[in-house]
Amino acid sequence: MFQGLRTVIYPVTDLAASKAWFSDVLGFGPYFDEPFYVGFDVGGYELGLLPVGDSGMGDGALTYWGVRDAEAAYAALVAKGATDHTPVTEVGDGIKTGTVRAPDGNIVGIIYNPHFQLPGTSQAGTASAD
């Protein structure tokens, strides 16, 4: 079901400070920079910053596994004992994400990203429709 890691999203209380810190650490700025989300392309993978305000860090960092069909993967995870956390939602540009809570309490994210492509590969030559 999982095709490989795609995205890690860090909840942050100070988006500007976190964006500056990660820009310094990575040596480059984000490719996507909005008040609701900041995204860095790190070797073809997404490092995201999600502002959570003063509400705290919630469930911590979220890791998303690539899948070919987000709705089917979500349903399969629930059928195997996971519980609903965040239903599958299109977040823009055809990208769909969802999260479940595994029986041990961990959050497991899934992502269908029709644009994902590892560096040095062509979409036709990869399982990039995840």
Q: Which CATH superfamily is domain 5-125 in?
A: 2,3-Dihydroxybiphenyl 1,2-Dioxygenase, domain 1 (3.10.180.10)
Kindly list the strands in the beta sheet with 83-92, ordered across the sheet, starting from the edge strand earlier in the chain: 32-34, 37-42, 45-51, 5-12, 62-66, 107-112, 95-101, 83-92
Domain range summary for the chain, segments of one domain joined by +: 5-125
Rounded Cα distance between 111 and 100, Å, is: 12
What tens digit of pLDDT does each residue of 63-110 get? Answer: 999 999 999 999 999 999 999 999 999 999 999 999 999 887 889 999
Q: pTM for this one?
A: 0.76
